[in-house]
């Protein structure tokens, strides 16, 4: 493509977007409980189920997670966008984020940190490893339990419809809700049979 415009060359940076905007709850329910907004989170392994979050050591939640070795990843929705942003710019040293944002802490099954009642999905996590990487520390954690809001379970199809919750994403300094459905995993290699049903190739 000789007429294709050249791409801009920028210095190295964290341009892997979009990412989920989650609220991580930590501390002990009813005592030191806190919420922190995290965009740098991800899946690390299927078996055992592992995930990661990256935090700056200066964050109030950093010491709570380091000392307890536990936290909960709470997925968020477009309706929660203001609370997600507020919990990211305010410190738990100075604010009771659950109370001030009128959010609901619920008891977890395996960890002392609370679940977030307004979240469509909560992942209870126990830290397996902590790595100092530079500006951030990476916590690698095992997912001990997943809690799902039954409001998004489609009894007709038997599937959990997370898209109906309008999940919140973060993209280069801005929040977005999930958009139009394009296809399911594997749709690119499916062929339709003569009677209309699909078969895998």
pLDDT in tens, 54-65: 999 999 999 999
H-assigned helices in the chain: 60-68, 81-89, 97-100
As beta bridge partners, residue 122 has: 74, 147
As beta bridge partners, residue 175 has: 170
As a whole number, the mean pLDDT across the chain is 93
Which are the contacts of 159, defined by CB distance < 8 A and separation ≥ 6? 153
Which are the contacts of 199, defined by CB distance < 8 A and separation ≥ 6? 190, 191, 192, 193
The helix (run of H) or strand (run of E) holding residue 199 is strand 198-200
Which are the contacts of 155, defined by CB distance < 8 A and separation ≥ 6? none
Classified as helix, coil or strand, 171 is strand
- Which of 111, 115, 108 shows the shortest CA–CA distance to 68? 111
CB 89 within 8 A of CB 82: no
Sorting pLDDT into bands at 50, 70 and 90, what band is 201? very low
State percent of the chain over pLDDT 70: 94
Where do we find the tokens 């690119």?
A: 188
pLDDT in tens, 154-189: 888 889 999 999 999 999 999 999 988 899 889 999
Give the domains, in start order, of the chain with CATH numbers: 19-200 (2.30.110.10)
pLDDT in tens, 109-123: 999 999 999 999 999
Q: What is the pLDDT of residue 68?
A: 97
């Amino acid at each position: 493509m000789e007429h294709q415009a050249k791409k801009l060359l920028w210095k190295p940076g964290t341009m892997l977007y979009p990412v989920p905007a989650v609220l991580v709850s930590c501390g002990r329910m009813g005592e030191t409980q806190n919420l922190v907004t995290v965009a740098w989170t991800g899946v690390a392994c299927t078996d055992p189920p592992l995930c990661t979050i990256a935090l700056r050591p200066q964050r109030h939640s950093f010491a709570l997670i380091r000392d307890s070795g536990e936290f909960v990843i709470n997925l968020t929705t477009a309706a929660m966008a203001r609370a997600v942003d507020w919990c990211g710019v305010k410190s738990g040293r100075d604010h009771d984020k659950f109370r001030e944002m009128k959010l609901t802490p619920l008891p977890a099954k395996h960890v002392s940190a609370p679940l977030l009642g307004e979240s469509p999905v909560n992942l209870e996590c126990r830290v397996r490893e902590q790595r100092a990487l530079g500006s951030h520390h990476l916590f690698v954690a095992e997912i001990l339990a997943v809690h799902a809001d039954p409001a998004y379970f489609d009894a007709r199809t038997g599937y959990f419809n997370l898209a109906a919750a309008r999940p919140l994403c973060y993209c280069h300094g801005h929040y977005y809700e999930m958009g139009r459905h394009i296809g399911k995993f594997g749709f690119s290699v499916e062929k339709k049979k003569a009677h209309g049903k699909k078969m895998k190739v």
